[in-house]
Amino acid sequence: MTIVLETIIFWFVVAIAIINIKYKPAYEVKIEGETVGYIFDETSFKNRIQEEIINQDGKNIEYVSLNVVPEYKKQLVARNTALKEEDILEKLKTEYTTITYKYFIVALNDEEKAYVDTIEEAEEIVDKIKSEYQNDEINLQILTKYTQNQLEINCDTIEVAERNVISQIEEIKIKEKEEEERKNALAIINEIKVSVLPVTGKITSRYGESSNLRRSTHTGTDIACSAGTDIKVIAKGKVTFAAYSGSYGNLVKIDHGNGVETWYGHCSKINVKAGQEVEAGDVIALVGSTGNSTGPHLHLEIRINGKTVNPQDYLY
Ligand SMILES: [Zn+2]
């Protein structure tokens, strides 16, 4: 009896030894029912999936999900069967993984203006701009954007993003200022905003009138006022002429750009020199009666591209 038992045990051990020489235990891995390879250990492989795929850390990564549940089946395989742990992991990573990315937008008046990687950067930009523009009403928002297409993400550095937002704010402010100036303008002559009347007084001769005082029709508007009254330039510009000029008497010509020129004649005194830049409201001369004049008044002439126009189409 014992001999029989010993024989059985002997052959059993021999069988196991042969199996061990020819076979090894492994896990067959199936993805969507298809065998993709073999691994040595299920638990350590699952840990690698968790650590190297699910928990992978990277720029803008919000979360990672594996779209399949691999199946594992323990079995004995021929000892020379290659274990493809790396390949299977790579396959799962590249073919069966969805990564959701997150980035942040700084919006100005609901328009997307800058893109940054982190909420901290977005908040820093907003805080900085709000403290810089405390007196202005600036509508900034931070929006969170999710995408599964990494190529869609094109974030700026915080410096560039901040600059983008500020330049947009400045552009809006300039437009608002221009709009304000436009609203406050007395007149607009060929895009040039007039914000100041040169003098106030009674109109004594209109544009186009004929008179025995002059050879042709009147090229400007005459406004009577007492001698020595300040003559203010009606808009910013550059002095192109400031001297005595025949029938005009003491004459100042200002070029306002865009083909617009204003002439101020019969002055008693000239305060500016040719080439000088002037701002709207600067006192360029004083009212007088020099040249072809019968009493103190300002002869105001407006020219567009060299041709006189009726000043009263715009002023008075
Ligand atoms: Zn005149």
Beta-carbon contacts of 30 under 8 Å, excluding residues fewer than 6 positions away, are 36, 70, 71, 72, 73
Task: Tell me, in angstroms, the distance from the centre of ligand 1 to residue 232's CA.
Answer: 17
CA of 219 to the centre of ligand 1 (A): 7
Partners of 63 in the β-ladder: 100
> Are residues 79 and 70 in contact, defined by beta-carbon separation less than 8 angstroms?
no
The pLDDT value recorded for residue 92 is 95
**Cα–Cα distance, 299 to 183 (Å, whole number):** 27
pLDDT tens-digit map of 131-168: 999 888 889 999 999 999 989 999 999 999 999 999 99
Q: In one letter, which amino acid is 52?
A: E
Ligand 1 centroid distance, CA of 236 (Å):
23
Decide if pLDDT at 1 tops 70.
no
Per-residue pLDDT for 14 more than 90?
Answer: no
Phi and psi based region of residue 305 (left: phi greater than 0; alpha: psi -120 to 50; beta: remaining): left
State which H helix or E strand residue 309 sits in. strand 307-309
- What is the 299 CA–ligand 1 centroid distance (Å)? 4
What Cα–Cα distance (Å) separates residue 113 from each residue in 104, 116, 167? 11, 10, 10
Distance 88 CA to ligand 1 centre (A): 96
Residue 128, SS3 per DSSP: helix
Closest CA to 99 of 71, 145, 143, 57: 57
Distance CA 204, CA 218 (A): 11
Higher-scoring residue by pLDDT: 137, 86: 86
Compute, in angstroms, the gap from residue 285 CA to the centroid of ligand 1.
16
Question: 181 CA distance to ligand 1 centroid (A)?
Answer: 29
**Span from the CA of 48 to the centroid of ligand 1 (angstroms):** 95
- Exposed, middle or buried: residue 311 (CB in 10 Å: 0-12, 13-18, 19+)? buried
pLDDT for res 214: 65
Which H/E stretch holds residue 29? strand 23-31
From the number of C-beta atoms within 10 Å of its C-beta (0-12, 13-18, 19+), residue 72 rates as middle
Determine if the pTM surpasses 0.85. no
Ligand 1 centroid from CA 42, angstroms: 103
Ligand 1 centroid from CA 264, angstroms: 9
Q: How far is CA 314 from the centre of its chain?
A: 37
110: region left, alpha or beta (phi > 0 left; psi from -120 to 50 alpha): left
The pLDDT tens digits of the residues spanning 92-112 come to 999 999 999 999 999 999 999
**Class of CATH domain 192-313:** mainly beta
Question: Which residues have a beta carbon within 5 Å of ligand 1, which is an ion?
Answer: 220, 222, 299
What percent of the chain stands above pLDDT 90?
A: 79
Whole-number Å distance between alpha carbons of 127 and 131: 6
Mean pLDDT of the chain: 93
Q: Write phi, then psi, for 263 (nearest 5 degrees).
A: -120, 140
Which residues is 76 bridged to in the sheet?
25
Q: Find the 234 Cα to ligand 1 centroid distance in Å.
A: 17
Domain ranges of the chain: 2-95, 101-184, 192-313
- Are 123 and 164 contacting, i.e. CB atoms less than 8 angstroms apart? no
* Residue 283 per-residue DSSP state: E
pLDDT score of 2: 77
**Angle 140-145-151 from CA coordinates, rounded to 5°:** 125
Rounded distance between C-alpha atoms, residue 246 and residue 265, angstroms: 10
CA of 257 to the centre of ligand 1 (A): 23
Give 215-258 pLDDT, tens digit per residue. 789 999 999 999 999 999 999 999 999 999 999 999 999 999 99
Q: How far is the CA of 100 from the centre of ligand 1 (A)?
A: 77
Alpha carbon of 168 to ligand 1 centroid (Å): 47
Q: Sign of torsion, CA 267 270 271 272?
A: positive
